[in-house]
């Protein structure tokens, strides 16, 4: 028993991330997902001899399928390792920009004699971060408060866990223990939050996963419909895997359609499900999407105009909300008001 515990501790020392239960659980889920993909593809190529002959004749078909498999798994790990856009990182980035501007202005105001002298200053990195956070608190507070409606108190927009001011659409994630910009949800399978910085990658991942599942299911059905004699147990295994694949495809397809709807209306999962609990959305009518800029512009900004994950959206004014809540007329439909 002692030897077993000692071996376990030694194993954890070689893999430090396994000592954390949360990270160990995420690692096991990632390993299970990769093994599930390899199992579906391995059984398909192991059982279907016609697919092997088709691969020899039409190499492009199987190559495209395997490339889609590799691209899906790569997109999964890229999304899993991406940052959702943390509020603290955004605050540091803005403070660093302010600090660099202040240094540039102070250097410009210095006399020529002081510019010629070279001085080397050693600063601890932790101390530098504290200085940045402390020196730019006023500018960050002003930036955040300008995004809210007049009369909003600073205490009501300050996170009680991180003790930093949250811009609109940000929320504290209890799993990551950080505030996330444009928080959507915390994905257990990915082991990270989905937010401003990686929502686009997440959508492309579930899109590629949906296409891969459809293609794999089609190959399984073609195997069952082929007239080549096969043992009964291969039928049982393929039917069982096809049933599991159909259930996974159903949920992935629903997830893809749901997030496509969120993109077209510029919403997040948290905003949609907790609309009545979010202060700045509580008095907004159900059919009004306050951050929507039209279907075309929402899609463009989500996919193409993502120059910075720290770009934040202010709350719409009362005039803008009144314009969005105005009923559609025939002229609005002809002018494609919902699109732009």
* Cα–Cα distance measured from residue 224 to residue 230, given in angstroms and rounded to the nearest whole number: 9
Is it the case that residue 123 has pLDDT exceeding 50? no
pLDDT the model gives residue 223: 87
> Which backbone phi and psi does 68 adopt, to 5 degrees?
-65, -40
Is it the case that residue 205 has pLDDT exceeding 90? yes
* Cα–Cα distance measured from residue 9 to residue 25, given in angstroms and rounded to the nearest whole number: 17
- pLDDT band for position 326 (50/70/90)? confident
* Cα–Cα distance measured from residue 203 to residue 260, given in angstroms and rounded to the nearest whole number: 8
* Cα–Cα distance measured from residue 80 to residue 83, given in angstroms and rounded to the nearest whole number: 8
pLDDT the model gives residue 125: 36
pLDDT the model gives residue 329: 63
List, in sequence order, the alpha helices (H) in the chain: 2-14, 21-47, 49-57, 59-80, 87-109, 112-116, 125-135, 137-145, 199-225, 232-265, 269-273, 295-303, 318-324, 330-334
Q: Taking the CA of residue 202 as centre, how many other CA atoms within 13 Å lie in the half-sphere pointing to its CB?
A: 32
Is it the case that residue 124 has pLDDT exceeding 80? no
3-state secondary structure 44-66: HHHHCHHHHHHHHHCHHHHHHHH
pLDDT the model gives residue 134: 43
Q: How far is CA 167 from the centre of its chain?
A: 18
Neighbouring residues of 130: CB distance < 8 A, sequence distance ≥ 6:
none
* Cα–Cα distance measured from residue 327 to residue 266, given in angstroms and rounded to the nearest whole number: 19
Of 8-12, 136-140, 172-176, 316-320, which gets the smallest average pLDDT?
A: 8-12
DSSP letter string over 160-186?
TTT-SBPPTT-EEETTTTEEETT--EE
304 annotated active-site = no
Q: 32-70 pLDDT, tens per residue? A: 999 999 999 999 888 887 777 777 777 888 889 999 999
Nearest to 235 by CA among 225, 246, 224: 224
- pLDDT band for position 268 (50/70/90)? very high
pLDDT the model gives residue 323: 80
In this prediction the pTM is 0.81
Q: What percent of the chain has pLDDT over 70?
A: 77
Q: Is 278 exposed, middle or buried (0-12, 13-18, 19+ CB in 10 A)?
A: middle
pLDDT the model gives residue 330: 62
Structure-token pair, residue 1: 């028993």
Is it the case that residue 122 has pLDDT exceeding 50? no
Tell me the residue length of the chain.
Answer: 340
Cβ–Cβ under 8 Å, residues 58 and 226: no
Task: Provide mean pLDDT across the span 186-208.
Answer: 94
List 187, 303, 304, 330, catalytic entry: 187
pLDDT the model gives residue 225: 85
Is it the case that residue 84 has pLDDT exceeding 70? yes
- pLDDT band for position 285 (50/70/90)? confident
pLDDT the model gives residue 215: 95
Structure-token pair, residue 24: 């160990």
pLDDT the model gives residue 193: 95
- pLDDT band for position 110 (50/70/90)? low
The DSSP element (H or E) to which 192 belongs, if any, is strand 192-194
């Amino acid at each position: 028993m002692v030897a077993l515990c000692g071996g376990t501790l030694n194993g954890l020392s070689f893999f430090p991330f396994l000592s954390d239960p949360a990270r160990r659980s995420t690692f096991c889920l990632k390993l299970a997902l990769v093994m599930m993909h390899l199992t579906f593809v391995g059984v398909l190529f192991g059982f279907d001899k016609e697919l092997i002959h088709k691969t020899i004749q039409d190499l492009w078909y199987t190559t495209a399928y395997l490339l889609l498999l590799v691209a899906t798994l790569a997109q999964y790990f890229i999304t899993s390792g991406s940052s959702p856009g943390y509020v603290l990182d955004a605050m540091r980035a803005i403070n660093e920009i302010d600090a660099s501007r202040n240094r540039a202005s102070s250097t410009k105001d210095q006399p020529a004699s002081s510019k010629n002298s070279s001085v080397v200053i050693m600063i601890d990195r932790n101390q530098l971060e504290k200085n940045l956070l402390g020196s730019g608190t006023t500018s960050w507070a002003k930036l955040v408060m300008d995004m809210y409606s007049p009369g909003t108190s600073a205490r009501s927009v300050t996170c009680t866990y991180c003790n930093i001011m949250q811009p609109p659409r940000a929320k504290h994630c209890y799993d990551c223990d950080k505030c996330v910009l444009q928080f959507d949800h915390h994905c257990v399978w990915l082991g990270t939050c989905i937010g401003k910085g990686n929502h686009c990658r997440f959508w492309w991942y579930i899109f590629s996963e949906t296409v891969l599942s459809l293609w794999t299911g089609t190959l399984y059905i073609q195997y069952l419909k082929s007239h080549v004699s096969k043992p009964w147990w291969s039928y049982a295994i393929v039917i069982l895997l096809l049933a599991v694949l159909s259930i996974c495809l159903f949920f992935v397809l629903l997830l893809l359609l749901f997030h496509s709807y969120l993109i077209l209306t510029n919403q997040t999962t948290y905003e949609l499900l907790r609309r009545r609990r979010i202060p700045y959305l509580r008095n907004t009518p159900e059919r009004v999407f306050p951050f929507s800029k039209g279907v075309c512009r929402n899609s463009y900004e989500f996919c193409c105009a993502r120059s910075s994950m720290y770009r934040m959206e202010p709350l719409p004014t009362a005039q803008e909300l009144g314009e969005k809540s105005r009923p559609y007329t025939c002229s609005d439909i002809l002018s494609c008001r919902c699109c732009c």
